[in-house]
A and B are shown apart, each in its own frame.
Chain A
């Protein structure tokens, strides 16, 4: 099994952000995380990526507990943080090499890995320009390339298409679909259309709890459309 999450829990102060979340993922699955803002999607992803430590429960990547053996687990995970933070003064080339070398790759291996990741994300000639001068779409691709540089089996992408224009969204989705065929992918999104387009499974999280885990088509069938399912499951009490 690629990823096993069991009884994951995290609170900040008195607020419980993630409460007893369990699920697992196999190779070939693209899992969409759905839920309102503040539902606990990002916190869950951060715990799997080893940025936050869970209070209770565990996340295991290929059987390696992320909290117990963090670095060994992180070697197998590619992570795109929300908003894809980067170092603006670097070029994608120097930035990606930095990521590859910090991951422990030797100089030559790092160079090849960067060329491959840049090719996979169609960075093109943008690779030599300072990141801060690039468009949002290109920056997101650089973030994706950074998550891909070590060819991980598990990809965790926090809102990979957020803030992109329709063309850029489409190309990122194509990329995710391609990558997901032989890996496992978790992506969070607010776009239900995206879940239908790329995800083989949807997990709905609300108020820190996992409340649904099913095929997008089944969710849609049960509630009469994915949007209706989302509203029915997550309350939608936030009316005007």
Chain B
């Protein structure tokens, strides 16, 4: 527990003492604003809700979450500091969890800083604030899933760029599998049952479900399992290093 906290603090410090976190948050906020207003037509909808804001989250996260997660392990391997880390008597899961939670916190801060949009809809009308809260919760959970995936892939390479590209690719596939277009294609290729199955395992499927204002137990379990699975992947990849 002590080591988990120490790793968490170190990673947060690393995000804050390098320009990374600031650039990330700033660019994320600009991108979110652009998509919500320009592409999503926030004002044209004439509805006081944040659906045009949340709708773009999966697609923005595919690029943004790998960007925060890419350095977590690959940078340690490149600098050689991983040797120092792995010769400390700390369990690998504590290292992996500490790193993951730090990156997830940065994502959480970025999401919290979108609050002016929430203020705006409340100023313009009377939205369902419970639904908005559920939307944020789902968005945060989804961010965690993408970061955990990015962290696991970062443990496989000593190059940040490679970690980033792999994570974007995997995140995209896991998200796009829920698109109606892909579902239609899969139905033709592998049959209806399997296609539905693949689609229901996609990140998009579970995020969309939560955007209707209720987060189902199924989706909650889905995101948490995805995070747990990816973290296990990180631990296995890091421990595999010891095997040489």
Contacts and interface: CB of A to CB of B under 8 A. Distances in A.
Interface string B126-140: 000000000000000
A83 interface: yes
Contacts of B243: 52-53
Contact of B87 (A53, A79, A98, A105): A79
A87 B14 contact: yes
Interface residues of A, number: 35
B244 A12 contact: yes
Contact of A81 (B10, B18, B83, B242): B83
B120 to A, nearest CB: 37
Contacts of B13: 89-90, 94
B188 interface: no
B60 interface: no
Contacts, number: 86
A52 B242 contact: yes
Interface residues of B, number: 26
A118 interface: no
A50 interface: yes
Given A74-B87, A77-B87, A79-B87, A90 B81 contact: no
Contact of A51 (B9, B86, B91): B86
B2 A49 contact: no
Interface string B1-33: 011011101100110011000000000000000
Contacts of B190: none
B45 interface: no
Nearest to A55: B244
A72 B89 contact: yes
B143 to A, nearest CB: 24
B14 A101 contact: no
A81 B77 CA distance: 13
Given A98-B9, A102-B7, A51 B242 contact: yes
Contacts of B17: 89-90
A87 B12 CA distance: 13
Contacts of B242: 50-53
A101 B6 contact: yes
B87 A103 contact: no
A139 interface: no
Nearest to A146: B84
Interface string A151-162: 000000000000
Contacts of A104: 2-3, 89-90
Interface of A: 10, 12, 46, 49-53, 70-72, 74-75, 77, 79, 81-83, 85-90, 94, 97-99, 101-106, 146
A85 B79 CA distance: 6
Given A102-B6, A104-B2, A71 B89 contact: yes
B5 to A, nearest CB: 7
B191 interface: no
B189 interface: no
Contacts of B90: 71, 102-104
Given A10-B244, A90-B10, A85 B84 contact: yes
B80 interface: yes
Given A88-B79, A102-B7, 14 more contacts: A51-B242, A52-B242, A52-B243, A53-B244, A71-B90, A79-B87, A83-B80, A87-B79, A90-B17, A98-B9, A99-B88, A101-B5, A102-B85, A104-B89
A90 B79 CA distance: 14
Contacts of B14: 87, 89-90
Interface in B89-109: 89-91
A51 B6 contact: no
Nearest to A87: B81
Contact of A101 (B3, B79, B87, B244): B3
Given A89-B14, A90-B13, A46 B83 contact: yes
Given A85-B81, A98-B10, A101-B5, A71 B91 contact: yes
